[in-house]
Amino acid sequence: MRIRPTLLPLLGAVLAAPTLAAPTFGTASENSLLAHIQVLASDEFEGRAPGTPGEAKTIAYLEQQFRRLGLKPGNPDGSYVQAVPMRGQYATPRFSYQEEARQVQLRFPDDFVAYASGPDEQRAVRDSELVFVGYGVVAPEYDWDDYKGADLRGKTLLMLINDPALPDPRDPSRLDPAMFRGEAMTYYGRWNYKYESAAQQGAAAALIVHETKPAAYPYEVVRNGALAERFSLLDDGTADGPPVPGWIHLDKAKELVAAAGYDFAALKQAALSKDFHPISLKAQASFDVSSQSRKLNSHNVVGLIEGSDPVLKHDYIIYSAHWDHFGIDERLPGPRTRQIYHGALDNASGVGALLELAQAFQALPQRPKRSILFLATTAEESGLLGAKYYGNEPLYPLARTIANINIDGINAWGRTSQIENVTSGHSTLDELLARHAIAQGRSMTPDARPELGSFYRADQLEFARQGVPVLYTKSRSGYIGKPDNYAREVVDYYVTHDYHKVSDDVRDNWDFSGGLEDIELLFRVGHELAQGGTRPQWYPTSEFRTLRSTLSLRAKP
């Protein structure tokens, strides 16, 4: 780890609105950021899984830090926590399919993973017809319907991950930007949507075929997630999937399809047409899912800087970062440190950044005019549950919430000349971020890896769904003094070797100089908003714009 004892220098005057003074950002250092990460990712914190001693230690640490920084309790009840009622589940599934006279038994979790959706601890599906449904997408805006009115009640759906990748008729080497946003993944490509879609069709089960490139992570990530405790919000009231949702390894999906007399590549090609219809695979699927479940309260942690203006203090900017990870898997070979999912970059680093931001705001000579909430969320790894719960049960009116700035992972590989705006194209926060990036001598670029669907994979999505403009950035391009392919190499190495693995631990070769510049940039954006800057607005083309309009009708004067 390359440590600099000096404070982060200013990188030029901020191009703020004329009436706003440029704030001083001089409290953060690589030392203090690393210290937070070392604590949160230590063996003592046991992987920070919800509902475990690791959570208790994490909550205590964050409360201690918020108090040390002088933040007020963020919950109006006078505490630093918001209880998030959840259900935890360990599932042990069995899956087989019958093809004519041949029965095939698949192995959990190497060949497939599956769960019992809802509160039932035992779930059985018997002799359910297997049907290939392409991408499982119904998108009226693209005149796309993979189901075509087929009766899929009680059936097991085999689904492709990601969106239909349709070539551009003007340039077949590229994807058509008029269909599913071209290279970018839309929400239709996410596993959450696939399960929701299957539930709407009345399916008994849904298996998503895992492919590393379109999923954006290897099968091992799915496998490891299935071995950990799976969480859902208690009494959420929404169907998050069919009775049995799951994944199947690509090789096993190919075998299943071949047994029915089909070629997997040919089926994938057929699924790229608007004329696609569901295809029976001439096999019967059966599932038995045994689960151990429990009810628990996990916690979001919230600290508040109350605004100084008597009117604007009722407006809020929310900085968020999830604190949770996957805990301990004692089935892994020891020693114990190799059984702990440390989650150093994901997301002890983001929580460390949250604390550095809180310290920077507290170091200002005068409190900002608007209030700032620092929110450390639970259960992001289980489907953005802490953020979703806050969106459903906000501590402060969402209609008065100006923006959410989310942090999930910090650049640990050096300075960059660019900042990627993962949420670009949705709101006027683009313009604010671009202006402050220029003041740093950098430039703002759109998401360099739109095919990963990062917008839909982190907590800011739940705020966007509530109509709150959001900002989420990454540094995955333009590393200063490095080859052009350096960014892709280090990011791809992390995703392949460390992401959601016990090896995501503190490294000696980290360089947070670029990460601190990113934190400073988010500080300056939030500071301008907190000083009374213009409220961000959704662009007319954003699917979230109408949600903000609904919130505005509920706003209090």
What is the domain range of residue 513? 31-79+306-554
Q: Is the pLDDT of residue 337 over 80?
A: yes
pLDDT of 7 reads: 26
Q: Is the pLDDT of residue 236 over 60?
A: no
Does 382 share its domain with 244?
A: no
- The CATH number linked to 391 is 3.40.630.10
The mean pLDDT of 271-278, rounded to a whole number, is: 98
Nearest to 432 by CA among 140, 15, 3, 31: 15
Does 173 share its domain with 47?
A: no
Residue 15 domain-assigned?
no
pLDDT of 557 reads: 35
Over residues 388-443, the pLDDT tens digits come to 999 999 999 999 999 999 999 999 999 999 999 999 999 999 999 999 999 999 99
Tell me the pTM: 0.89
pLDDT of 117 reads: 86
User: Cβ atoms within 10 A of the Cβ of 519, count?
Assistant: 24
Bin 543: left if φ > 0, else alpha if -120 < ψ < 50, else beta.
Answer: alpha
Residue 9 domain-assigned?
no
Q: Do strands 279-305 and 230-233 pair parallel, antiparallel, or not at all (unpaired)? A: unpaired
**Least confident piece of the model among 95-104, 153-162, 497-506:** 95-104
Residue 130 domain-assigned?
yes
Q: Is the pLDDT of residue 170 over 90?
A: yes
Does 164 share its domain with 233?
A: yes
Alpha-helix runs per DSSP H in 41-98: 53-69
Does 169 share its domain with 224?
A: yes
- Domain-ending residue, one of 293, 321, 354: 293
Q: Is the pLDDT of residue 14 over 60?
A: no
The mean pLDDT of 174-200, rounded to a whole number, is: 93
Interatomic CA distance for residues 534 and 172, integer angstroms: 42
Q: Is the pLDDT of residue 484 over 50?
A: yes
pLDDT of 24 reads: 62
Over residues 132-142, the pLDDT tens digits come to 999 999 999 99
For residues 224 and 132, which has the higher predicted lDDT (pLDDT)?
Answer: 132
Over residues 340-350, the pLDDT tens digits come to 999 999 999 99
Does 183 share its domain with 119?
A: yes
For residues 550 and 13, which has the higher predicted lDDT (pLDDT)?
Answer: 550
For residues 452 and 52, which has the higher predicted lDDT (pLDDT)?
Answer: 52
Q: Is the pLDDT of residue 163 over 60?
A: yes
Interatomic CA distance for residues 287 and 96, integer angstroms: 7
What mean pLDDT is reported for the chain? 92
**Least confident piece of the model among 8-12, 468-472, 501-505:** 8-12
Secondary structure E strands in 76-121: 81-99, 102-106, 112-114
Nearest to 149 by CA among 94, 95, 202: 202
